[in-house]
Amino acid sequence: MNKLELLIAWRYLGAQRKSLFVSLIGIFSMLGVSIGVFALVVALAAVNGFEEEVTAQMIGKDAHFELMAYNAQPITAYDSLINEVRTRDSSVTASSPFIIYKVGISSKRVNDGIVIYGIDAETAKGVTDIHKYIKFGSYSVDSLEDLNGTKRPGIILGSGLANRLRVVVGDKLVLQTFQSPDEMIGSAGPKMMMCVVSGIFETGTYEYDGNLAYVGIPELQRLLNMGDAVTGIQFRIKNHWLAEASVDSMANWLTYPYYAIDWKSKNITLLKWMNYEKFIVAAVICLIILVAAFNIISSLIMVVIDKTKEIGILRSMGFSKAGIMRVFMLMGSFIGVGGTIAGGTVGLVLCKLQEAYHFITLPGDVYVIPYFPIAVHLIDVVLIFVIGIALCVLATLLPAWKASRLDPVGAIRHE
């Protein structure tokens, strides 16, 4: 490649009197590449933004990993297990025991079935962020006085569940255990416990807000006749993306009947769906760039037809076939590189402005966050630029090869 080849390629791209239409096709090809790259940058940044927001929601409402026993066996020596995990894994920053169970719940007007968590309110703050989502009342499972002045255990409800039960902070609820037919024979019936609504949380996720409630561990232990046992232990580590590695490490020393599960394994279906969505979005929008690449082929073929006589003169002056091929590959590369840089730059600027100022908003009553989430990943940007330029360069091969195969004498005589 030399300066003459660059000069000829650049000159062929310029608008000339006899080839204005051909030059316009080249401009539209560059515009097509720009639009495709712009759309790909913005779309992937949006998918990344929503993925990170959903991930933050998941790890905010749940622990990074949990230690439990097979067949839902109760765990009694949980203090020693916590100490052993903390000793073996230095990345653990917080831990908290918990009980999870399905119970019936009744208000004055409604009966329902829910998932109830027994927690230690103070240590649970370190492993989940439920305390940050309190909308009404307070984050407390301590005993409270009901409207009659009687002390009752406090219970924290999700906003959807509170609406379904038609209760507000201070109202009384009754929790009751479910019994199998065998247990009901000769028994006095299900055990019950009256609670007072101390707080209502709202995470924005229906599955949590509509089905979860929290009470203190001692109260739930008494209701379920569990003694001093718990269902499991929740842990938080320094980097939630390394939770799977921590669980794999625990598998080397954790003995039956205990096992550990990380947040990604619990939500594997949702995470896979988000990865598929990102791939599909990228593949569909790449079609825009592919269409622009075909436009490049069309415009270069028209240039070859338009410049046939000039190609013959260049060949007769000593230009090699490879030189002619490089000229037309440079033309397509100018279109591809220019369009990719222009579209990518505009897309990145728009994404950065949205990250900084959140000028694209979302309805707060529908989405968890009030603005359109954006997250630009360097690896995505690099891949977009590489793919955009590569497609455009590949599109030049056919017309460039066609130009290089022209016979000099026949090309000069071309009209």
The contacts of residue 356 (CB under 8 Å, 6+ apart) are: none
What is the CA 370 to chain-centroid distance, rounded? Answer: 17
Q: Tens of pLDDT along the chain (415 residues)?
A: 577 767 777 776 665 545 555 566 667 778 888 888 888 888 888 888 888 887 877 777 788 899 999 888 889 888 889 999 998 888 999 999 999 999 999 888 888 889 999 999 899 999 988 888 899 999 988 887 766 777 889 999 999 999 999 999 888 899 998 765 555 555 556 788 899 999 999 887 777 888 899 999 999 999 988 888 999 999 999 988 888 889 988 888 888 889 999 888 888 887 888 888 888 888 887 887 777 777 777 777 777 776 677 777 777 777 777 777 777 778 778 888 888 889 889 999 999 888 888 888 777 556 666 778 888 888 888 888 888 888 888 888 877 777 777 666 565 665 5
Asked if residue 289 lies in contact with residue 387, where contact means CB atoms within 8 angstroms, the answer is yes
- DSSP summary character for residue 56: H
CA distances from 55 to 48, 268, 270, 286 (A): 10, 11, 10, 26
CA distances from 336 to 44, 74, 256, 377 (A): 20, 63, 60, 22
pLDDT recorded at residue 356: 84
The Cα–Cα gap between 215 and 415 comes to 89
Beta pairing partners, 379: none
Asked if residue 275 lies in contact with residue 307, where contact means CB atoms within 8 angstroms, the answer is no
pLDDT recorded at residue 17: 46
How many Cα neighbours within 13 Å face the side chain of 63?
28
Q: What are phi and psi of 390, to 5 degrees?
A: -65, -45
Q: What is the largest CA-CA distance in the chain?
A: 109
Find, among 65, 94, 91, 92, the residue nearest to 262 by Cα.
65
The Cα–Cα gap between 290 and 395 comes to 9
pLDDT recorded at residue 273: 83
pLDDT recorded at residue 183: 54
What the block records as the tokens of 254 is 């954790």
Element containing residue 400 per DSSP (H, E): helix 397-404
| Runs of H (alpha helix) within 226-362 | 243-250, 263-266, 268-306, 308-316, 321-357
How, if at all, do strands 258-262 and 151-152 pair? unpaired
pLDDT recorded at residue 119: 92
Query: Which amino acid is present at 116?
Result: I
The Cα–Cα gap between 393 and 297 comes to 10
How, if at all, do strands 111-119 and 212-216 pair? parallel
pLDDT recorded at residue 412: 62
For the chain, domain boundaries: 3-58+270-412, 74-256
Q: By CB neighbour count within 10 A (0-12 exposed, 13-18 middle, 19+ buried), where does 401 fall? A: middle
167: helix, strand or coil: coil
The Cα–Cα gap between 332 and 403 comes to 13
The Cα–Cα gap between 335 and 308 comes to 21
First vs last C-alpha separation in the chain? 29
Q: By CB neighbour count within 10 A (0-12 exposed, 13-18 middle, 19+ buried), where does 215 fall? A: buried
Asked if residue 157 lies in contact with residue 200, where contact means CB atoms within 8 angstroms, the answer is yes
pLDDT recorded at residue 218: 92
- Tokens 């993925």 -> residue: 51
What the block records as the tokens of 19 is 């080839």
